[in-house]
Amino acid sequence: MSVDLKEIKKEFTKFLKRKNMKVTQSRLDLIDLIADYGKHFEVEELVSWVSKRTNRGVSRSTIYRTLKLLQDFGIIKEVIKQNNRTIYEFIVGKSHHDHLVCVECGKITEFVDEDIENLQDEVCAKYGFSPLNHRLEIFGICSECMSRKKT
Amino acid sequence: MSVDLKEIKKEFTKFLKRKNMKVTQSRLDLIDLIADYGKHFEVEELVSWVSKRTNRGVSRSTIYRTLKLLQDFGIIKEVIKQNNRTIYEFIVGKSHHDHLVCVECGKITEFVDEDIENLQDEVCAKYGFSPLNHRLEIFGICSECMSRKKT
DNA sequence: ATGAGTGCAAAGTATTTGCACGTAC
DNA sequence: GTACGTGCAAATACTTTGCACTCAT
């Protein structure tokens, strides 16, 4: 793990103070817990994970509220919106990447493509649009599912 | 309007028969109504539009069910998933395009970029992934909102 | 005639909110 | 001490589903 969580929490503390919000244990802990989880997650998964890893657990409301804060702060992102599910990801220490989503097995594969990123910036420039973030989801069938289907 | 709706409905009829489904007025009408609406839409908007344009109206259930069918058939697509909203689009007669979504005013701008499309195909090829469709949403602030903010 | 389609109301999900109590400052 | 945070339960929003009736074949 190449991510300096201590530094992130320090920055997050500043971020909260700047907004006159309180630095609570619950908020700081969630950063550790998400980093520790180490993969994409849905709210439900996170709730279970937190219960499993702590004695106190956490309410869904707090999770939703804190996730929103962490998105504003910029360390997590909604990476997939499919059906009624929202999949989040801890994005610190990763280059921007996008996702291949297998509609058969649900497997999510990350990929990085600098060229796609650059072309997007060009498009935005062309329209005088100031991008804040983006989401590219490619839905399809992964190689394993494809070979299984052929059999 | 360069789209031949008659032809589309003929194909849709075949599509339904192939699946042993019935060719109902309601289903065929929805194609006309969506084409006629001429822009992105949400379910709620479509329900209002249908009521406004017809005498009978249509139930939300049928709208949802038919939208799913039309997606399978391939003439509409969920183009934006933001917050809890799903925005659909009639995609017949358009090259594949993606969207710039202004988070201030909600304006949606379409753009076409062949190079991005090609790069995506390359990525899929690299992972042995068979793409079915994709969605690229760039969230940010449009030029009008940006100049309004500066003032 | 038969099975699929439709509308309605009810049920499911995911997410947000009001409020009483707890905690950071 | 005060204001914001938290958990809980209730509310909301979107979408799906069961069922009785209707319509396409």
pLDDT at B84: 86
Residue ranges of chain A whose CB lies within 8 Å of a chain B CB: 81-82, 100, 102-103, 109, 111, 113, 115-116, 119-120, 123-124, 126-143, 146
CA–CA distances in Å: residue B106 to residues A105, B80, B102, B144, B151: 34, 11, 5, 12, 20
Q: Is the pTM of this model over 0.75?
A: yes
Is the domain of A79 the same as that of A107? no
Is the domain of B4 the same as that of B33? yes
Bases of strand C lying below 7 A from some protein CB: 3-9, 13-18, 23-25
CATH number of the domain encompassing residue B55: 1.10.10.10
Task: Determine the Cα–Cα distance for residues A26 and B103; give it in Å rounded to an integer.
Answer: 29
Task: Determine the Cα–Cα distance for residues B18 and B28; give it in Å rounded to an integer.
Answer: 16
CATH number of the domain encompassing residue A102: 3.30.1490.190
Is the domain of A78 the same as that of A99? no
What residue numbers bound the domain in which A117 lies? 95-151
Say which residues have a Cβ less than 8 Å from residue A97's Cβ, sequence separation at least 6.
A110, A111, A112
Name the band, by pLDDT with cuts 50, 70 and 90, for residue B150: confident
What does the pLDDT look like over B19-53, one tens digit per residue?
A: 999 999 999 999 999 999 999 999 999 999 999 99
What does the pLDDT look like over B55-96, one tens digit per residue?
A: 888 999 999 999 999 999 999 999 999 988 999 999 998 888
Other C-beta atoms lying within 10 Å of the C-beta of residue B87 = 21
What does the pLDDT look like over A74-106, one tens digit per residue?
A: 999 999 999 889 999 999 988 889 999 999 999
The yes-or-no verdict on residue A150 having pLDDT over 80 is no
pLDDT at B1: 55
Instruction: Report the residue from A81, A130, A140 with minimal CB separation from B140.
Output: A130
Task: Determine the Cα–Cα distance for residues B94 and A139; give it in Å rounded to an integer.
Answer: 20
For residue B11, report the phi and psi dihedrals to the nearest 5 degrees: -65, -40
Helix and strand tally (H, E) in chain A? 6, 5
Task: Determine the Cα–Cα distance for residues B32 and B45; give it in Å rounded to an integer.
Answer: 15
